[in-house]
Structure 1
Amino acid sequence: MTLADRLRAALDAPHGTAPVLLAGDHHDFDPDDSAHQAAVLIAVTDRAEPGVLLTQRTETLRRHAGQVAFPGGRIDPEDDGPVAAALREAQEEIALPVDQVDIVGIVDAYRTVTGYHVTPVLGVVPPDLPLVPAEAEVADWFEVPLGFLLDPANQRRGSVQVAGRERRYYEILWNDRRIWGATAAMLVNLSRRLRWTA
């Protein structure tokens, strides 16, 4: 069974009880308000110990400067849905060839504090692709073992005061990288959905 098949089977596996998923950064939004649609690619490398490709955003961006993120962005009118948008953005940001992605499926959407309704697209890619970050928005890319990211023991809860309100979040620390906010939340959801064991 291929890695893509294993992931599909894990996504489709019945749950005794529905997993408790994180809907968004705040709980006071309308889940049907989808004014800002976006998509990200959760690209899993097909190796003995699968990894996930992540980007470090440049420090010069107006939003989320320097943060760790999945390749992705807004769904444009010419995109044929979230899968096409996620693939286009991954190609633009890290030169990931579209034809090298085996799409596993769409996973649970997440609403960010900045008002985006983000659809994660799960796919499998060959290992060691010659990826090149787009200098304008991506400072670097790196790979983290899937098993590490999806292990609840590595998913730490934190909180911060923003405009007089407490904002709770998850973070995952990998070497000198801090994966937090929406990216970490989508990984927590994926972990709960897959019940992954590497």
Structure 2
Amino acid sequence: MSLVTQLRARLDRSHGLDLDIFESDIRGEDIRARGAAVDAAVLIPVVDRPAPTVILTQRTDELPSHPGQVAFPGGKVDPGDEGPVGAALREAEEEIALPRDRVELVGTTDLYLTGTGFHITPVIGVVPPGIDLVPEAGEVAAIFEVPLETLLDPANYREREIEWQGRLRRYHEMYWEDRRIWGVTASIIMNLSRRLRAATEGSSLSRSDGKNLR
């Protein structure tokens, strides 16, 4: 059974389950109350290796929003896009030169409202290894891969607290080598982890070559 088929099946089985899902951060809740948010999308590109990996980017320090942070390729949904899926594919082409015709779509997962005013739809896609990715110099400082198993393991995350605008904010973070994965990106990953694990608790994603992945 292919990796795409397994991921789709798990997402489908998780529908209707009562899961502990992060819907927004604290400031995102304020934005929801005001009814003002911009539709956006990110692509979660899973590389179909014997041990699958996920492509992530590190944003440049010059960006006005979330400079230097680890993120998925993505951005706001433009009028010419075919919805969030089209936006995610377009942004991945622009940011890391990932051809949209090399992405086999799995589906979308839980929406997330950010404090900066974006209502994000995560789009999951499987891509083959060996694509020559190129960072867009104005936005992307680096492109790297993290094992999917590592990202989905909740034991790798720590819960932290900071005070922001007079309110206590909780967030999750993990480190991969010298890179800090936290905030919105970590929440999107943890939501996906909860869905995939709840769909078949205790089982593994199995490759046809015998490799297993939680």
> Which range, TM-score by smaller chain?
over 0.9
TM-score (norm 2): 0.88
**Aligned residue number for residue 95 of structure 1:** 97
**Aligned residue number for residue 10 of structure 1:** 10
- 2:198 is equivalent to residue 193 of structure 1: no
After superposition, residues 156-171 of structure 1 pair within 5 angstroms as: 156-171=158-173
**Aligned residue number for residue 153 of structure 2:** 151
- 2:57 is equivalent to residue 55 of structure 1: yes
1:193 partner letter: R
Distance in 2 (alpha carbons) for counterparts of 1:166 and 1:172: 20
Pick one of 110, 124, 127 that aligns with 2:126: 124
**Aligned residue number for residue 133 of structure 1:** 135
Distance in 1 (alpha carbons) for counterparts of 2:5 and 2:34: 31
SS at match of 1:64: coil
Q: Which runs of 5+ in 2 are unaligned?
A: 198-202, 205-212
Distance in 2 (alpha carbons) for counterparts of 1:85 and 1:41: 9
Distance in 2 (alpha carbons) for counterparts of 1:187 and 1:47: 19
**Aligned residue number for residue 175 of structure 1:** 177
Q: 1:3 to 1:34 in 2, by over 3 A?
A: farther
Q: CA RMSD in A?
A: 1.7
- How far apart are residue 155 of structure 1 and its match? 1.9
Higher helix share: 2
Distance in 2 (alpha carbons) for counterparts of 1:32 and 1:60: 30
**Aligned residue number for residue 37 of structure 2:** 35
Work out whether residues 104 and 124 of structure 1, in 8 Å CA contact, stay in contact via their aligned partners in 2. Answer: yes
Work out whether residues 107 and 123 of structure 2, in 8 Å CA contact, stay in contact via their aligned partners in 1. Answer: yes
Count of aligned pairs: 198
**Aligned residue number for residue 22 of structure 1:** 22
Q: Which runs of 5+ in 1 are unaligned?
A: none
Work out whether residues 14 and 195 of structure 2, in 8 Å CA contact, stay in contact via their aligned partners in 1. Answer: no
Q: 1:29 to 1:119 in 2, by over 3 A?
A: same
- How far apart are residue 30 of structure 1 and its match? 2.7
Distance in 1 (alpha carbons) for counterparts of 2:35 and 2:105: 27
**Aligned residue number for residue 104 of structure 1:** 106
SS at match of 1:30: helix
Q: 1:144 to 1:82 in 2, by over 3 A?
A: same
Q: Percent identity?
A: 57
Once the two structures are superposed, residues 54-74 of structure 1 have per-residue CA deviations (whole angstroms, 9 ceiling, x without a partner) of: 000000011100000000001
- How far apart are residue 17 of structure 1 and its match? 4.5
**Aligned residue number for residue 72 of structure 1:** 74
Distance in 1 (alpha carbons) for counterparts of 2:113 and 2:135: 26
Once the two structures are superposed, residues 76-135 of structure 1 have per-residue CA deviations (whole angstroms, 9 ceiling, x without a partner) of: 011110000000000000000100000000100000111110000000000121100000
- How far apart are residue 33 of structure 1 and its match? 3.6
SS at match of 1:113: coil
1:107 partner letter: T
Q: Which moved more, 1:99-108 or 1:7-16?
A: 7-16
1:40 partner letter: V
Distance in 2 (alpha carbons) for counterparts of 1:13 and 1:122: 16
Work out whether residues 34 and 116 of structure 1, in 8 Å CA contact, stay in contact via their aligned partners in 2. Answer: no
